[in-house]
């Protein structure tokens, strides 16, 4: 790892000030992505600003039909929260399926969405439930927040404060984990809120997480298994690498969609 | 350099470290507690698992400075003098190790698994061991050891 300075901050304001003062700084939350990346010398920030101890960012609460999760809340806390288990069980299941117990003890929801890894799980829940993301500057919809592969709308001196998920019980997430890394080879999140159907796909596209419009339309017209089976994801623009071809991944997405649909209706 | 102060296996330490020092290297190289291992550079193998404030973490993916003011337990801190910890005892009884390289991380993970689950079945143990790799045993006896230990604890 290259040399850098480490700085622990106690408040959001302090974190933002540090980021503005030194553009070569990076936020350190759980470290489960940034530290391995720095160990490989694929990133070399001059300073890491540790936000894990900012009390005001570590919370889960219910507010006017939403579950709001502070950005430094770790995956274990989300997966074991009784409130989330009751209100949005699909979200607690998703958190429980991230990596392994040690990763879940450190990795945070804010870190996971800020990183916008094309194979990460939380971005699918954000798009699939229609989450709102509150940053140190503004409120963004999930569609505005996730821009492309490893790219978000976050500016250099902007940090994620919290994520607000509408309470939609009729929702389910199904991923096919890569057998070695456990990251999604394809993951599909489906939710149904009265007539509003959302379908988000992670792990598959070359441009990162996306809403699968065709599937949404098909399910809005007719909420049935055959509506899911009739839509096929085109392999065009789907990732292809040593783990699987575009055709393979597109097919996995089709199957994950069927299983997610079955999960809701079980 | 920055000062790190923490408690490890009941002993207080206070020492200057480089900001980029990983917790695992601090534990192994500075504190000479070489039971904690490094088995990969991709944060996947779990040979480096220790407990920080009671939570199992991968010490290869954490900075020593992130552990400032915490309480750490490593494999060396489990036994009570000559008496092995029940999980260590169960690994010995059930032949839960072969070369032993993964064992410190396995045992630290196992203690955490047992602490969090009142009843353990084979499926749960296997799922919970997602972050710990063993190249020798085929996991069979590791799972057996953990279930045996959980019944005694
Ligand atoms: C072995 C292993 C397996 C994994 N498996 C999975 C998996 O199956 N599914 C999955 O989704 N993920 C997986 N992960 C990734 C894990 O979920 C990480 O926790 C997550 O990607 C990053 O969160 P973090 O808190 O560790 O962020 P960090 O590594 O601390 O930060 C990641 C990036 O986000 C930025 N950042 C962090 N917090 C904020 C904030 N509040 N505001 C603005 N920017 C911020 C940082 O500057 C950095 O660029 C795995 C990781 C490992 C090591
Ligand atoms: S050394 Fe392999 S996970 Fe830490
Ligand atoms: S006993 Fe050899 S790696 Fe597990």
One domain for residues B90 and B72: no
Q: CA A159, CA B148: separation in Å to the nearest integer?
A: 46
One domain for residues B92 and B144: yes
One domain for residues A39 and A69: no
Which residue, B30, B50, B77, sits at the end of a domain? Answer: B77
State the pLDDT at residue A181: 82
Token representation of residue A168? 């939609």
From A42, A51, A54, A103, give the residue whose CB has the most ligand 1 atoms within 8 Å, as the site to mutate: A103
One domain for residues A63 and A147: yes
| Closest alpha carbon to B72 in B101, B106, B103, B31 | B31
State the pLDDT at residue A179: 83
The series of mean pLDDT values per 10 residues for chain B, 153 residues long, is 97 97 98 98 97 98 98 98 97 98 98 94 96 97 98 92
User: If you average pLDDT over every residue of chain A, what do you get?
Assistant: 96
Structural domains counted in chain A = 3
In this structure, the strands spanning A196-202 and A184-193 are antiparallel
One domain for residues B92 and B73: no
State the pLDDT at residue B126: 97
Q: A203's torsion region: left (phi>0), alpha (psi -120 to 50) or beta?
A: left
State the pLDDT at residue A11: 97
- The residues on B that touch A, with CB distances below 8 Å, are 2, 18-20, 22, 41-44, 46, 49, 55-58, 60-63, 65-66, 68, 109, 112-113, 128, 130-132
Residues 6+ apart with CB under 8 A from B111: B51, B56, B78, B85, B87
One domain for residues B22 and B64: yes
Residue B17 β-bridge partners: B2
Which residue, A166, A192, A221, sits at the end of a domain? Answer: A166
Task: Answer yes or no: is pLDDT of A88 > 90.
Answer: yes
From A8, A29, A133, A176, give the residue whose CB has the most ligand 1 atoms within 8 Å, as the site to mutate: A29
E strands present in A72-127: none
One domain for residues B98 and B140: yes
- Residue A195 CB burial class (10 angstroms; 0-12, 13-18, ≥19): exposed
Mean pLDDT, residues A80-107 taken together: 98
Structural domains counted in chain B = 2
Give the total residue count for chain A.
Answer: 266
Task: Answer yes or no: is pLDDT of A168 > 90.
Answer: yes
User: What 3-state DSSP class applies to A231?
Assistant: coil
pLDDT tier at A180, thresholds 50, 70, 90? confident
Contact B57 A100 (CB under 8 A): no
CATH of the domain at A83: 3.30.465.10
Are residues B62 and B22 in contact, defined by beta-carbon separation less than 8 angstroms?
yes
Tell me the pLDDT tens digit for each residue of A225-265.
Answer: 999 999 999 999 999 999 999 999 999 999 999 999 999 98
One domain for residues B101 and B41: no
Tokens 């169960």 — which residue?
B90
Alpha carbon B51 to its chain's center = 6
One domain for residues B67 and B93: no
- Does residue A61 belong to the interface with chain B, where contact is any CB pair within 8 Å? no
Walk across the sheet containing A171-177 and list its strands.
Answer: A171-177, A184-193, A196-202, A210-211
Which-ligand-closest: CA of B37? 2
State the pLDDT at residue A266: 80
One domain for residues B106 and B133: yes
One domain for residues B73 and B90: no
Task: Answer yes or no: is pLDDT of A193 > 90.
Answer: yes
Please tell me which residue of chain A has the smallest CA distance to B128: A101
One domain for residues A59 and A149: yes
One domain for residues A80 and A96: yes
One domain for residues A59 and A162: yes
Residues 6+ apart with CB under 8 A from B62: A31, A35, A106, B22, B23, B52
One domain for residues B90 and B126: yes
Whole-model pTM? 0.97
Residues having CB within 6 Å of any atom of ligand 1: A 26-34, 36, 71, 98-99, 103, 106-108, 110-112, 114-115, 117, 120-122, 154, 159-160, 182-183; B 43-44
State the pLDDT at residue B118: 85
Range of A28's domain? 5-50
Residues having CB within 6 Å of any atom of ligand 2: B 38-40, 43-48, 58, 60
CATH of the domain at B100: 1.10.150.120
Range of B38's domain? 2-77
């Amino acid at each position: 790892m290259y040399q850098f300075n480490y700085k622990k901050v106690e408040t959001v304001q302090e974190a933002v000030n540090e980021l503005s003062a030194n553009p070569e700084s990076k936020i350190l939350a759980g470290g489960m992505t940034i530290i391995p990346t720095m160990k490989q010398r694929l990133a070399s920030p001059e300073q890491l600003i540790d936000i894990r101890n900012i009390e005001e960012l570590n919370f889960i609460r219910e507010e006017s039909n939403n579950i709001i999760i502070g950005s430094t809340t770790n995956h274990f806390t989300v997966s074991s929260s009784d409130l989330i288990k009751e209100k949005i069980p699909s979200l607690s299941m998703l958190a429980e399926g991230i990596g392994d117990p040690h990763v879940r003890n450190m990795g945070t929801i804010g870190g996971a969405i800020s990183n916008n890894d094309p194979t990460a799980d939380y971005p699918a829940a954000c798009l699939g439930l229609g989450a709102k993301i509150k940053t140190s500057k503004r409120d963004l919809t999930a569609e505005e927040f996730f821009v492309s592969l490893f790219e978000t709308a976050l500016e250099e001196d902007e940090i994620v404060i919290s994520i607000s998920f509408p309470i939609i019980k009729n929702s389910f997430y199904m991923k096919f984990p890569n057998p070695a890394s456990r990251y999604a080879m394809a993951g599909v999140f489906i939710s149904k809120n009265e007539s509003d159907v959302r379908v988000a796909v992670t792990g598959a596209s070359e441009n990162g997480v996306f809403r699968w419009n065709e599937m949404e339309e098909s399910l809005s017209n007719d909420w049935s298994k055959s509506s899911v089976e009739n839509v096929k994801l085109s392999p065009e623009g789907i990732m292809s690498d040593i783990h699987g071809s575009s055709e393979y991944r597109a097919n996995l997405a089709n199957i994950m969609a069927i299983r997610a649909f079955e999960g809701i209706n079980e | 350099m920055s000062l790190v102060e923490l408690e490890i296996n009941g002993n207080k330490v206070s020492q200057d470290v480089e900001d980029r020092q990983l917790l695992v290297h601090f534990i192994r190289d500075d504190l000479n507690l070489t039971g904690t291992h490094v088995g990969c550079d991709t944060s996947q193998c779990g040979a480096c698992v220790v407990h920080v404030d009671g939570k199992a973490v991968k010490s290869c993916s954490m900075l020593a400075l992130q552990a400032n003011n915490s309480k750490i337990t490593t494999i060396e801190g489990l036994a009570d003098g000559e008496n092995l910890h029940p999980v260590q005892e169960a690994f010995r009884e059930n032949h839960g190790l072969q070369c032993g390289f993964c064992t410190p991380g396995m045992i630290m993970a196992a203690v955490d698994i047992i602490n969090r689950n009142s009843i353990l079945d084979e499926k749960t143990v296997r799922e919970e061991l997602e972050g710990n790799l063993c190249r020798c045993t085929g996991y069979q006896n590791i799972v057996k050891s953990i279930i045996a230990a959980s019944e005694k604890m």
